[in-house]
Amino acid sequence: TRKVVFDTDPGVDDATALLFLLADPEIELLGITSVWGNATVETTTRNALYLAERFGYAGPVARGAGGPVAGGAAEVDPDIHGHNGLGDIDLPARIGMKADARPAHRFIIDTVRAAPGEVTLLAVGPLTNLALALREDPAFATLVKEVVIMGGGFGFNGHLGNVTPAAEANIGNDPEAADEVFAADWPLVAIGLDATMETMMSTDYLAALREAAGEAGRFVWDVTRSYAGFYRRTLGVDGIFAHDSLAAAYLTAPELVTTRAGAIRTVLDGFARGQTIQSPDTREFVPGAWAGRRAHLVATGVDAPAFLSLYAERM
């Protein structure tokens, strides 16, 4: 089994990824950490607790950062994930479960240090919590087994950004944090738009899940209704992109994606702020902005039918 901490901003596709993780017998979920992003951190933490309680996850849920590492406004867009972050489905007024006493970044450090070399961090929101953990305890990076993120867009299938033409949301929300995470000395895999925009769950697919996958299937249907509306309005497609679920699938089915190795940088200034750029190989380029960085893996493509079958089967 794989020990995993799930760092997330639920978030419609975050919720569908969490249910998928909970259904994976190979995953030992050590904790869930919330982060701002798809909604405020108050909302994403409430949603994480709600999902844990409703779907029987009894482990720790720790509340994370409320805005980017560099300070400034935590901008959230209710148009995509709804005002409540879960597609405006009905939620109970009170959640019984309580968050862990530690802030998320502390929880992450403690969990990794308790099992050196064994813990994978699956991060599918802005990378703020991971950057805070690195700032507090830089040496902990070498104790992490692997970092798998949903984030970025590297242009392999023509995909760069979704919040601007250059920036994908998780990176664009906190480019400084992302660049610190890419600079760190840990094995990292970025599953970006290059792969996730190639894996659409159509309305028919989601309707079949609703019929066949019990309470979880019905929940996925309900929670994706307004998210599907967003994609219909903006891209004219009939379905959703389950971005975060593909990153979750990578943990136990890495063969679903093809990857390329190279150092990654995040653009921090100007109109392309939030763009992710991978060095194409290990050449020493001038002026060497990528130099000295560890080569990380970037997803260049995906076997979408295989991913969709795996998701449906497991659910």
Active-site annotation, residues: 243
Query: Which of 140/250 has CB closer to ligand BDR?
Result: 250
Query: Which of 194/244 has CB closer to Ca ion?
Result: 244
Is residue 180 a contact point for ligand BDR (CB under 6 A)? no
Q: Which of 7, 14, 146, 198 binds ligand BDR (CB under 6 A)?
A: 14
Query: Which of 11/103 has CB closer to Ca ion?
Result: 11
Helices and strands in the chain: count of H runs, count of E runs: 13, 12
Q: Residue 162: name its binding partner from ligand BDR, Ca ion, none (Cβ under 5 to 8 Å by kind).
A: ligand BDR
Site for ligand BDR in 154-173 (CB under 6 A): 162, 168-170
Query: Which of 168/244 has CB closer to Ca ion?
Result: 244
Q: Least distance to Ca ion from the beta carbon of 44, Å?
A: 9
Q: What does each C-alpha distance from 61 to 74, 141, 146 come to in angstroms?
A: 21, 21, 20
Rounded to an integer, what distance in angstroms lies between the CA atom of residue 224 and that of residue 245? 13
Is residue 39 a contact point for ligand BDR (CB under 6 A)? no
Rounded to an integer, what distance in angstroms lies between the CA atom of residue 35 and that of residue 113? 21
Rounded to an integer, what distance in angstroms lies between the CA atom of residue 38 and that of residue 86? 9
Nearest Cα to Cα of residue 65 among 141, 8, 2 = 8
Per-residue contact track with ligand BDR, 132 to 151, x per CB under 6 A? ------------------x-
Per-residue contact track with Ca ion, 34 to 73, x per CB under 5 A? ----------------------------------------
CB atoms within 10 A of CB 288: 10
Site for Ca ion in 208-267 (CB under 5 A): 244
Q: Is 274 helix (H, G, I), strand (E, B) or coil?
A: coil
Per-residue contact track with Ca ion, 12 to 31, x per CB under 5 A? --x-----------------
Residue written as tokens 């969709």? 308
Paired residues of 277 in beta bridges: 265
Query: Which of 15/315 has CB closer to ligand BDR?
Result: 15
Q: Which of 68, 125, 126, 175 binds Ca ion (CB under 5 A)?
A: 125
Is residue 276 a contact point for ligand BDR (CB under 6 A)? no
Q: Least distance to ligand BDR from the beta carbon of 282, Å?
A: 28
Q: Least distance to ligand BDR from the beta carbon of 38, Å?
A: 5
Q: Least distance to Ca ion from the beta carbon of 164, Å?
A: 17
Q: Give the start-end residues of each E strand in the chain.
A: 2-8, 27-34, 61-62, 119-123, 146-150, 188-191, 200-202, 239-241, 257-262, 264-266, 276-278, 296-302
Paired residues of 61 in beta bridges: 32
Sheet containing strand 146-150, strands side by side: 61-62, 27-34, 2-8, 119-123, 146-150, 188-191, 296-302, 257-262
* Residue least distant from ligand BDR (Cβ): 169
Q: Is 196 helix (H, G, I), strand (E, B) or coil?
A: helix
Q: Is 127 helix (H, G, I), strand (E, B) or coil?
A: coil
Q: Least distance to Ca ion from the beta carbon of 139, Å?
A: 28
Q: Which residues bind ligand BDR (CB under 6 A)?
A: 11, 13-14, 38, 124, 150, 162, 168-170, 243-244
Q: Which residues bind Ca ion (CB under 5 A)?
A: 9, 11, 14, 124-125, 244
